[in-house]
């Protein structure tokens, strides 16, 4: 006779409640500020947003009191070059990804693993590297960071079947067109179309050469390739002449990526063109790190602050450039905004102590970096007060759980 084993009860859902939020930045250009002071997340996903008195939070297993500070979606760095774990041979530096979490970035996206020593350029090798990078960085999450990697650098000889194979293996990205052997418009356009057919997003190197083997990619090639993203439109690090930048902005319709390791003057020129044309939805942000100038844990925060303070756009919109805009362009419907159904990737920010400005948004508008008091990824607290930003005036507290 077999004895019945009782079924174990379903585990209780993990409910996180974030209350007493002074300002909620949504990451959505259409509604950048939400009239709400409370967020509820269950098992890492946002389930409710609203006023504290209107939400049922009786089942909370964890409570964060924001203490009146602002909450924004975790930032997305659209342009990094990972290699192996949290180490980069570009600067022989360890811990740069973990440090970037302290800059409010919760997702990084590879623009190609080009710094890999001895990077293979044959077709078998480049596909193997892309799949290996996709696999390893899916499993490796320093301080909870989400790293989308495996971005093959295009080389002559790739055919449609190669892109189908890569997509079926889990590769969702194409690295900067122009960093490898494919530098001409017709070939790049054909390969980008194959990638798009299989759900992969792509980007084109823009500007002067950045590494040995890369080349100058001008406006005509960028427009002909028609990748989803004009990578470092402000130069990586060398920007094109303004006439070519204008041509890209006015004749193209793809996302315009402004990076920290580029030409700030050109970045402001691109932002102004997009603002005049009513096309701020095209602006996304990256760091293009690691680079010759190093790694920048605060690169995304610095870039959005510089654009808000010098570029004539409201700070709450600048935060969208580094969150909701990038999520939309990359097809990341599970993050990038404070919205029901998306991941509870949240940063708690406030005006830095001792600086000019009346509150967070005014201080950013005046060019001061905000202070980060906490980072939450998938509903879990990953950092307390940032070790990299200036100290925030108000810092959240975990009061339960």
Q: What's the pLDDT score for residue 12?
A: 82
Weakest mean pLDDT among 203-217, 360-374, 380-394: 203-217
pLDDT, tens digit (0-9, with 9 covering 90-100), for 235-251: 999 999 999 999 999 99
- Span 338-367, mean pLDDT? 97
Backbone angles phi, psi at 267, to 5 degrees: -60, -40
In this structure, are residues 29 and 318 in contact, taking their beta carbons and an 8 Å threshold? no
**Does 290 sit behind a cis peptide bond, omega within 30 degrees of 0 on the bond before it?**
yes
In this structure, are residues 48 and 39 in contact, taking their beta carbons and an 8 Å threshold? yes
Q: What's the pLDDT score for residue 209?
A: 85
In this structure, are residues 155 and 182 in contact, taking their beta carbons and an 8 Å threshold? yes
In our burial notation (b when 16+ CB lie closer than 10 A, e otherwise), range 55-76 reads beeeebebbbbbbebbbbbbbb
pLDDT, tens digit (0-9, with 9 covering 90-100), for 162-220: 999 999 999 999 999 999 999 999 999 999 999 999 999 999 999 998 766 667 899 99
Q: What percent of the chain has pLDDT over 90?
A: 94
Q: What's the pLDDT score for residue 43?
A: 97
Q: Where are the beta strands (DSSP E) in 178-289?
A: 201-204, 229-230, 255-259, 283-286
- Span 311-325, mean pLDDT? 97
pLDDT of 125 strictly over 50: yes
Q: What's the pLDDT score for residue 6?
A: 60
Q: What's the pLDDT score for residue 345?
A: 98
Q: Residue 272: how many CB atoms within 10 A of its CB?
A: 14
pLDDT, tens digit (0-9, with 9 covering 90-100), for 254-300: 999 999 999 999 999 999 999 999 999 999 999 999 999 999 999 99
Residues 285, 377: Cα–Cα separation, whole Å: 20
Residues 132, 145: Cα–Cα separation, whole Å: 18
Q: What's the pLDDT score for residue 11?
A: 73
Please report which confidence band the pLDDT of residue 8 belongs to, taking 50, 70 and 90 as the band edges: low
Q: Residue 146: how many CB atoms within 10 A of its CB?
A: 21
This prediction has a pTM of 0.96
Shortest CA distance to 230 belongs to which of 213, 214, 251, 212?
Answer: 251
Q: What's the pLDDT score for residue 1?
A: 43
């Amino acid at each position: 006779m077999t004895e019945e084993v009782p079924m174990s009860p379903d585990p209780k859902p993990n409910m996180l409640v974030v209350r007493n939020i002074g300002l909620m930045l949504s990451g959505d250009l259409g509604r950048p500020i939400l009239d709400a002071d409370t967020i509820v997340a269950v098992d890492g996903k946002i389930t409710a947003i609203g006023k504290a008195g209107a939400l049922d939070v009786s089942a909370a297993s964890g409570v964060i009191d924001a203490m009146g500070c602002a909450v924004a979606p975790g930032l997305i760095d659209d342009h990094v070059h990972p290699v192996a774990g949290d180490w980069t041979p570009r600067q022989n530096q360890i811990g740069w990804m973990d440090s970037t979490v302290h800059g409010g970035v919760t997702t990084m996206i590879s623009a190609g693993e080009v710094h890999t020593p001895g990077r293979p350029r044959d077709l078998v090798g480049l596909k193997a590297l892309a799949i290996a990078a996709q696999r390893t960085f899916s499993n490796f999450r320093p301080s909870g960071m989400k790293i989308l990697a495996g971005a093959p650098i295009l080389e002559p000889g790739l055919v449609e079947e190669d892109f189908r194979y890569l997509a079926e293996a889990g590769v969702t990205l194409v690295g900067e067109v122009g960093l490898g052997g494919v530098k001409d418009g017709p070939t790049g356009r054909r390969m980008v179309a194959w990638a798009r057919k299989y759900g992969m997003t792509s980007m084109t190197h823009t500007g002067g050469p950045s590494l040995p083997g890369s080349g100058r990619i001008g406006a005509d090639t960028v427009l002909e390739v028609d990748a989803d993203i004009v990578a470092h439109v402000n130069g990586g690090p060398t920007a094109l002449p303004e006439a070519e930048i204008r041509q890209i902005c006015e004749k193209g319709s793809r996302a315009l990526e402004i990076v920290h390791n580029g030409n700030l003057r050109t970045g402001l020129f691109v932002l102004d063109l997009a603002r005049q044309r009513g096309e701020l939805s095209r602006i996304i942000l990256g760091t293009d790190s690691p680079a010759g100038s190093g790694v920048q844990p605060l690169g995304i925060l610095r870039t959005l602050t510089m654009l808000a303070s010098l570029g004539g756009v409201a700070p709450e919109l600048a935060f969208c450039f580094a969150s909701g805009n990038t999520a939309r362009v990359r097809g990341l419907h599970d993050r990038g905004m404070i919205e029901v159904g998306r991941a509870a990737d949240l940063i708690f920010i406030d005006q830095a102590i001792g600086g000019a400005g009346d509150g967070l948004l005014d201080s950013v508008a005046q060019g001061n970096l905000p202070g980060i008091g906490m980072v939450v990824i998938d509903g879990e607290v990953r950092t307390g007060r940032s070790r990299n930003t200036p100290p925030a005036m108000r810092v959240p507290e975990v009061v339960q759980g």
